[in-house]
């Protein structure tokens, strides 16, 4: 599976959009981009995934560049409960390789 | 559905002791896996199973055994606990397939080895 690079930490004001970047320059054609988050010490929670096209669900939007070498997770209106570690993972098989992720802190 | 359940929530062992961490899912998922998470780090895959009777090693399998006799259960055995195995252990399951399915994680077991 391709490796990913994420900033170690980011801050966001409550109510604003949180944009979390991820670089995956070695991604191959059949690898999906997945985003999970981990709130405090709970089990990781699925957010969204995509292959080529931009995706949106009730939690977030995923923007994938045309060359697929990077992506951005967008939380449109961040709340304090969105404070968590966010993991970007590219995978083709079921075993996922987690990096250190981005620690997002939403501030009042 | 209860989803993915793990027992116990907390466990303290002495070096050399053995124990089994339990994981069960009620979603009829074929694929199950075990991860460990050390402080300040991401999750690392220990073992996984693509169906009953089939298991394979992940990234950090040493010191752990698994078996899959039923679709629902995937226990993780620590053969002889060591302080380096102090960690939080997460079990996950998914329907399987080609890596396009969502993985569901359990709440974790916090293990301390003295």
Partners of residue A48 in chain B, C-beta under 8 Å: none
Tens digits of per-residue pLDDT, B42-58? 889 999 998 999 999 99
Averaged pLDDT, A3-29: 94
Q: What's the confidence (pLDDT) of residue B103?
A: 83
The average confidence (pLDDT) of chain A is: 91
Number of inter-chain CB pairs under 8 A, A vs B: 60
**Option in B41, B103, B108 nearest A96 (CB):** B103
Tens digits of per-residue pLDDT, B30-41? 899 999 999 888
Averaged pLDDT, B12-20: 97
The CA dihedral of B92, B98, B100, B102, to the nearest 10 degrees, is: -20
Reported as type and span, the H/E element at residue A50 is strand A45-50
Minimal Cα distance from B42: which residue of A?
A100
Residue environment code for B79-97, b if the CB has 16+ CB neighbours within 10 A, otherwise e: eebeeebbbbbbbbbbeee
**Option in B45, B98, B108 nearest A95 (CB):** B45
Residue A106, Cβ density class (10 Å: 0-12 exposed, 13-18 middle, ≥19 buried):
buried
Minimal Cα distance from A102: which residue of B?
B42
Residue A46 has pLDDT above 80, yes or no: yes
- Residues A46 and B103 sit within 8 Å (Cβ to Cβ): yes
Q: What's the confidence (pLDDT) of residue A92?
A: 64
Tens digits of per-residue pLDDT, A66-97? 999 999 999 999 999 999 999 999 876 666 77
Q: What's the confidence (pLDDT) of residue B77?
A: 97
Partners of residue B96 in chain A, C-beta under 8 Å: 94
């Amino acid at each position: 599976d391709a490796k990913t690079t994420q900033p170690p930490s980011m801050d966001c004001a409550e109510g604003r959009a949180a944009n979390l970047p991820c670089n995956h320059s070695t991604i191959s054609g059949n690898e999906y981009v997945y985003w999970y988050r981990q709130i405090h010490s709970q089990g990781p929670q699925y957010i969204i995934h995509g292959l080529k096209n931009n995706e949106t669900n009730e939690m977030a939007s995923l923007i994938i560049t045309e060359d697929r070498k990077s992506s951005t997770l967008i939380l449109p209106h961040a709340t304090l409960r969105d404070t968590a570690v966010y993991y970007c993972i590219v995978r083709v098989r079921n075993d996922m390789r987690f990096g250190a992720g981005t620690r997002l802190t939403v501030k009042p | 559905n209860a989803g993915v359940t793990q027992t116990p929530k907390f466990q303290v062992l002495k070096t050399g002791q053995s124990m089994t961490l339990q994981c069960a899912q009620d979603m009829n998922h074929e694929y199950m896996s075990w991860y460990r998470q050390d402080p300040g780090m991401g999750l690392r895959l220990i073992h996984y199973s693509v169906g009953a009777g089939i298991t394979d090693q992940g990234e950090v399998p040493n010191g752990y055994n698994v078996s899959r006799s039923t679709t629902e259960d995937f226990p993780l055995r620590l053969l002889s606990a060591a302080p380096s195995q102090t960690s939080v252990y997460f079990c996950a399951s998914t329907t399987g397939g080609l890596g396009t399915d969502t993985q569901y994680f359990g709440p974790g077991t916090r293990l301390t080895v003295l």
